[in-house]
Chain A
Amino acid sequence: MTDRNNTLETTDENPADVLLQQLLHLKGYEVPDVARMIKHKQNIMRQVREANGQSRWSLGGLLEVNIPWFFAEPRYGIAALFIAFAALQFWGVSSQKQAHSTTGIYTSESKTAVLDQNITFSAPSISYPKLPDNLELCPDQEGDRGVKFVGRIELKK
């Protein structure tokens, strides 16, 4: 540092000089609104990210930039949390409703269970073995077991 540090120091004894230095010193007490400045900084950071091609923000990035502002303006932070909570509640209710309405079988206004015809079923993937043609499974007459044995009996001599 090659120069004077304090703005109030002066080598000139002229009272007008001293007075001017004092007035300029008081100007140092002009301060911007803290919350406004924090928001302003966030805007700059946001613009920098957009300019950098990082327009898609991660949740972590958003929190990192916005958390200081929440602390600077607690009422807005609380309001934002309340809105977020309400939105989550609403989201939860609507998704529950949706889950009920998309089932295949539902209760109609007439209180009878009906099957939604628009449902598509997939074909069973299990393949059963083909039965021989001479095997009758369904009986035609009473007392008939419905099973015929076809074969030849040979007697040994």
Chain B
Amino acid sequence: MVSNLNSKPEEASEEESGPSDSELVLKSQQGDVRAFDELVERYHGKIYGLTYNMTSNREDAEDLTQEVFMKAFEALPRFQGKSSFYTWIYRIAVNKTINYRKKRNRKRALSLDQFDQDIKTDDVYHELTTKGSPLRNISLSELQEKLNEALQHLSEKHRTVVVMHDMQGIPHDDIAKVVGASVGTVRSRLFYARRQMQTELTEFMK
């Protein structure tokens, strides 16, 4: 089973029972900390997934996730509900991550999460490791490292759209709202980012 870290927030919200995001936001604004706990519970995995894939470093991702939720809690009284909570918190997460990396201004070593054992039952994995595949002789850890390196070679704005669209399944128009760009720009960035990654990975797969 693929982790929910890379699932689209809307899907998760629809599946979950209980109060809606807007109800929880309202309660949190009225001082109900437990309502905010529920929002943390609901979005923790997704925000961690975003920051982790943006940084390829789990310690940085943990720090950033914590900062994102603290920032969201502080700014919640000013949240007017013009956008959905998930768009709003994703915007905080993307901005925080980009600023965090700018501040550090140096390349961080990769610190990666382990692959889930369920990967071995995945059809795509089987396809990639069969005889005719270019990846048949590559170990899983090597593949993981190269993939993350290729991702880290992208610029911040290109990496953001790849992570949000190709890994988390967020639609173009929602990404456009989060990054504050037009849908066309998002599509263009996605196209460019994919080309760049293909170039890097093709060298590796030869």
Contact = CB atoms under 8 A, between A and B. Distances in A.
Contacts of B122: 26, 29
Interface stretch (A35-43, A94-102, A145-153): A35-43
Contact of A25 (B115, B124, B143): B124
A72 to B, nearest CB: 14
A47 interface: yes
Q: Is the interface of B mostly helix, strand, loop or mixed?
A: helix
Given A22-B124, A41-B41, A3 B33 contact: no
A67 interface: no
Contacts of B194: 17, 20
Given A8-B124, A27-B167, A54-B33, A32 B58 contact: yes
Interface in B134-149: 134, 143-144, 147-148
A52 B36 CA distance: 11
Interface of B: 2-3, 5-6, 8, 10, 31, 33, 36-37, 40-41, 44-45, 48, 52-53, 58, 62, 65-66, 69-70, 73-74, 112-116, 118-119, 122, 124-125, 127-128, 134, 143-144, 147-148, 162, 165-167, 169, 171-173, 194, 197-198, 201-202, 205
Interface of A: 1-8, 16-17, 19-33, 37, 40-41, 43-45, 47-49, 51-52, 54, 65
